[in-house]
Amino acid sequence: MKPLEINALSKRYGERLALDSLSFTVPPGEIFGFVGSNGAGKTTTMRIAVGVLEADEGEVRYGGEPVDVHSSARFGYMPEERGLYPKMTVAKHLVYLAQLHGLSAKDAREAMTSWTERLHLAERRDSTIDALSLGNRQRVQLAAALVHDPDVLILDEPFSGLDPLAVQDMAQVIKQKAAEGAPVLFSSHQLDLVEQLCDRVAVIRHGRLAACGSLDGLRSAEPARIFLQVDGARNDWPERCAAVAGFERHDNGLLIELAAGHDENDLLRAAMEQGVVRRLAWQRPTLTDMFRNLIDPAEGSVR
């Protein structure tokens, strides 16, 4: 299996620059999360990667070669707007799509059978798409991206609208595809899932790469914080404490960023003077903490 390279992609829609020289690489076997607010450019990037949209500049490479109709036929793509034929049955749909990708009638049938089993759709094979729940439709959409056993998986918001069981199935399939060596690129708003699944992430903002790297790498660039719970202390003590550079109040405690030159003992001593310390623990920054400054909530889609 080979790497998928997004190489200096730029794309304009009229006046709007949707992608501005965006580059990143998804190595084989890696689960790569693609994160950013609405309108940041994720869908545009993925559509260009699978060849349904053309870039103004830059290119997508697979195994070092520019992607063409031959290589992109080996990609599995789950689009954001789910394009299934409402009156077709699940089985017919999947067989049809597999044949479109070049499988023989027999292989297409086998692929349909095995994927509907894997994704717990076996009972639904003869249902029409419009009779399915949203979660099952999404399972069909995933099966549709997989029936031709693709070498690359590109999934646009695969988890949106899924119930927890379907999320588990989806996550399983993503992991297995990566374990088989496929580069897997998926976008998601659900940062907890991105955190669970991904080896690396790219944060995109206004069509540009705001950050890219392994979760641990990105984490180490973030100031570590301390969770502190003190009972009986005055409400305003952290503001007056020299060891505290910044803090946030949480349900039952404070999340504290230490001031330069101070350590946890300084904080503990100060807190003990204020009340009874119930808990003091270093806390790893979550993706949400890390991306707070990178994701622009005001970056609305104006489509």
Binding site for Mg ion (CB under 5 A): 42-43, 80
The reply to whether 41 sits near ligand ADP by the rule CB under 6 A is yes
Separation between Cα atoms, residue 298 and residue 175, nearest integer Å = 33
- Measured from the CB atom, the residue of 185 and 254 that comes closer to Mg ion is 185
The reply to whether 302 sits near ligand ADP by the rule CB under 6 A is yes
The reply to whether 55 sits near ligand ADP by the rule CB under 6 A is no
In sign, the C-alpha dihedral spanning 89, 91, 92, 93 is positive
CB 71 within 8 A of CB 152: no
The distance of closest approach from Cβ of residue 146 to Mg ion in the complex, given in angstroms and rounded to an integer, is 21
Separation between Cα atoms, residue 47 and residue 17, nearest integer Å = 16
Candidates 170, 78, 86, 79; CA nearest to 127 is: 86
- Token readout for 26 is 């998804």
The reply to whether 36 sits near ligand ADP by the rule CB under 6 A is yes
- Using CB under 6 A, pick the residue from 42, 93, 148, 177 that binds ligand ADP: 42
- Measured from the CB atom, the residue of 79 and 150 that comes closer to Mg ion is 79
- Measured from the CB atom, the residue of 72 and 188 that comes closer to ligand ADP is 188
The distance of closest approach from Cβ of residue 160 to ligand ADP in the complex, given in angstroms and rounded to an integer, is 11
Separation between Cα atoms, residue 245 and residue 228, nearest integer Å = 14
- Using CB under 6 A, pick the residue from 5, 6, 39, 166 that binds ligand ADP: 39
Residue 51 φ/ψ region, left for φ over 0, alpha for ψ in the -120 to 50 degree band, beta for the rest = left
The distance of closest approach from Cβ of residue 15 to ligand ADP in the complex, given in angstroms and rounded to an integer, is 10
Which one of ligand ADP, Mg ion, none interacts with residue 13, CB within 5 to 8 A by kind?
ligand ADP
- Token readout for 20 is 């501005």
The reply to whether 253 sits near ligand ADP by the rule CB under 6 A is no
The distance of closest approach from Cβ of residue 101 to ligand ADP in the complex, given in angstroms and rounded to an integer, is 25
Query: What is the secondary structure of 165-200 as a DSSP string?
Result: HHHHHHHHHHHHHHHTT--EEEE-S-HHHHHHH-SE
- Measured from the CB atom, the residue of 11 and 139 that comes closer to ligand ADP is 11
Chain residues binding ligand ADP by CB under 6 A are: 13, 16, 18, 36, 38-44, 301-303
